[in-house]
């Protein structure tokens, strides 16, 4: 099947096949080699299954049927085939680590570099040199730590100082994820509470030196957080994978603070180890190799990985594997499906002073010595406006043609054929209209005694009474009601008489 024929393809796949081409980091090297061989034997089917697994925008699955559609499918399939061939050839010559069909396997090398690498190594070197020349760089506080006293292995994930792996997506914001990860770590160590913080605040608002999705530097991010006197939470200022307008009200939501940051002596893996033993550390590496793009597992050791730093990540530990190889545990920001649940192990203690992929060249960490500010309260609502004036009391409408004054009761004083021709007004609300059509009583004394002209209670002590009230004429708002008798059928404005509660 040619790539062009894949513009719209539907393939029936069993559940097992849906995952066949999607590597699982818990599987060993040999199992991944078998997965790659299977994908090479039936590439169309495995590409569809891989695309569905990784939620590619051109793929969907319904009732076991994998569908690919869209103009970009041929280009994605071509890149995927090239990366599959590279992975098979690469794994035949490397034993310490293996590569495969990572979530980035449908990207060319150029696309991968453009969208996922965002660290400006050249700018960082200039900035650090200027800082050192001005003697403004603080002393490396772990310099006097005896390396022999350090633990044989460190993993800050096990200490509750590392948030779950995040995904920067196709935005060159790796610098923000590295810096925020380091702040999350030092804050968790200081407060004993792990809080996920906002990379998006840095992408949107830290623009004096950094460039959002176009790259930035971790030290600049630390400076921004210090200047802003804190950073917001991820929950309150969530990630969008694009640079947006800086939300000024979120800048005031300062949940976690830092008190400074320090650079680790460059090209010194021993110094880096001292720092990582005490907290997660922001590091920069060269990550533009196709092997890094497609990394699946093992200890990454590749002499072709140089020192042109282009990616910011987070060193969260170190250790030794079963074969005695030393490594750094590095948290990436490409989601948990990449690498070893979102992490890569880089070889440590290599001959090059810069470290594997330049990991020891430019490293730094935030410093925290003071508590965070009190938890922000709810954001205030809009300023209340002036209280609206109470509505003006309206006259009481008797019908379409007459009304009574405010707080009175309409009572019919003339009717014909069950139609009220003239209304009167009782001077109290909710009054009872008496049968003589001239008087009314209050609701508390609802019985109209026509003999005595008094209002009595509904039952009980008739000694309690009051003189009944006299109605006043209602105000006419329309032509005389008698005219309605001669109006054309169906349009007469006359009201039907309301049967009043009366007592003879």
Residues labelled as active-site residues = 174, 311, 332
CA–CA separation, 225 and 237 (whole Å): 14
Dihedral angle over CA of 169, 170, 173, 175, nearest 10: 80
Q: 10 Å Cβ neighbour count for 182?
A: 28
Residues 6+ apart with CB under 8 A from 487: 493
Token pair of 344 as six digits: 């890569």
DSSP string spanning 205-269? H--SS--TTB-B-HHHHHHHHHHHT-B-BTTTS---SS-----HHHHT---B---EEEEPPTT-H
Is there a contact between 330 and 316 (Cβ–Cβ < 8 Å)?
yes
* Residue linked to tokens 């001005």: 134
Return left, alpha or beta for 437; rule: phi > 0 is left, psi -120 to 50 is alpha, else beta. left
CA–CA separation, 66 and 10 (whole Å): 6
Q: Is 337 helix (H, G, I), strand (E, B) or coil?
A: coil
Is there a contact between 285 and 116 (Cβ–Cβ < 8 Å)?
no
CA–CA separation, 377 and 396 (whole Å): 48
Is there a contact between 317 and 154 (Cβ–Cβ < 8 Å)?
yes
Question: Among 148, 94, 417, which residue's Cα sits nearest to residue 274?
Answer: 148
Token pair of 488 as six digits: 């054309």
First to last CA, the chain: 100
Helical (H) or strand (E) element with 45: helix 43-53
Is there a contact between 345 and 328 (Cβ–Cβ < 8 Å)?
yes
Q: Burial of 297 by CB count in 10 Å (0-12 exposed, 13-18 middle, 19+ buried)?
A: buried
**Which residues make beta-bridge pairs with 455?**
448, 466
* Residue linked to tokens 């292995």: 153
CA–CA separation, 312 and 331 (whole Å): 10
Question: Among 177, 216, 227, 212, which residue's Cα sits nearest to residue 197?
Answer: 177
């Amino acid at each position: 099947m040619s790539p062009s024929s894949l513009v719209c393809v539907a393939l029936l796949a069993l559940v097992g096949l849906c995952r066949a081409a999607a590597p699982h980091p818990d599987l060993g090297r040999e199992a991944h080699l078998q997965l790659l061989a299977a994908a090479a034997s039936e590439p169309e089917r495995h590409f569809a299954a891989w695309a569905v697994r990784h939620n590619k925008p051109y793929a969907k699955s319904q009732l076991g049927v994998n569908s690919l559609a869209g103009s970009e499918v041929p280009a994605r399939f071509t890149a995927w085939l090239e990366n599959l061939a590279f992975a098979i050839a690469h794994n035949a010559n490397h034993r310490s680590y293996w590569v495969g069909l990572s979530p980035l396997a449908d990207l060319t090398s150029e696309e991968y570099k453009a969208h996922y690498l965002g660290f400006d190594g050249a700018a960082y070197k200039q900035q650090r040199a200027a800082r050192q020349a001005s003697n403004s760089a603080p002393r490396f506080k772990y310099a006097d730590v005896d390396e022999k006293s350090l633990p044989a292995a460190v993993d800050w994930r096990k200490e509750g100082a590392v948030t779950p792996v995040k995904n920067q997506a196709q935005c060159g914001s790796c610098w923000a994820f590295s810096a925020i990860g380091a702040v999350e770590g030092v804050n968790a160590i200081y407060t004993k509470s792990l809080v996920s913080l906002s990379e998006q605040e840095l992408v949107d608002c830290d623009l004096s030196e950094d460039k959002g999705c176009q790259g930035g530097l971790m030290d600049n991010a630390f400076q921004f957080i210090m200047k802003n006197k804190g950073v917001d939470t991820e929950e309150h200022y969530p990630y969008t994978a694009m640079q947006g307008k800086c939300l000024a009200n979120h800048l005031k939501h300062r949940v976690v603070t830092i008190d400074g940051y320090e650079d680790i002596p460059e090209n010194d893996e021993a110094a880096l180890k001292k720092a990582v033993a005490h907290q997660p550390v922001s590091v920069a590496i060269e990550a533009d190799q196709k092997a890094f793009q497609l990394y699946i597992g093992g200890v990454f050791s590749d002499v072709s990985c140089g020192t042109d730093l282009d990616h910011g990540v987070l060193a969260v530990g170190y250790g030794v594997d079963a074969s005695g190889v030393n490594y750094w545990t590095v948290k990436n920001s490409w989601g948990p499906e990449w690498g070893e649940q979102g992490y890569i192990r880089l070889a440590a203690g290599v001959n090059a002073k810069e470290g594997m992929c330049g990991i020891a060249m430019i490293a730094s960490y935030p410093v925290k010595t003071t508590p965070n500010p009190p938890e922000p309260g709810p954001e205030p609502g809009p300023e209340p406006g002036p209280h609206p004036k109470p509505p003006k009391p309206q006259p009481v409408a008797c019908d379409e043609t007459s009304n009574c004054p405010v707080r009175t009761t309409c009572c019919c004083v003339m009717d014909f054929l069950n139609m009220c021709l003239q209304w009167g007004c009782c001077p109290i609300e909710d009054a009872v209209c008496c049968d003589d059509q001239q008087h009314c009583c209050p609701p508390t004394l609802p019985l109209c005694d026509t003999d005595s002209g008094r209002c009595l209670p509904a039952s009980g002590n008739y000694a309690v009474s009051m003189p009944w009230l006299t109605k006043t004429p209602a105000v006419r708002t329309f032509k005389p009601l008698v005219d309605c008798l001669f109006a054309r059928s169906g349009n007469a404005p006359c009201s039907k008489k309301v049967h009043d509660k009366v007592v003879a």
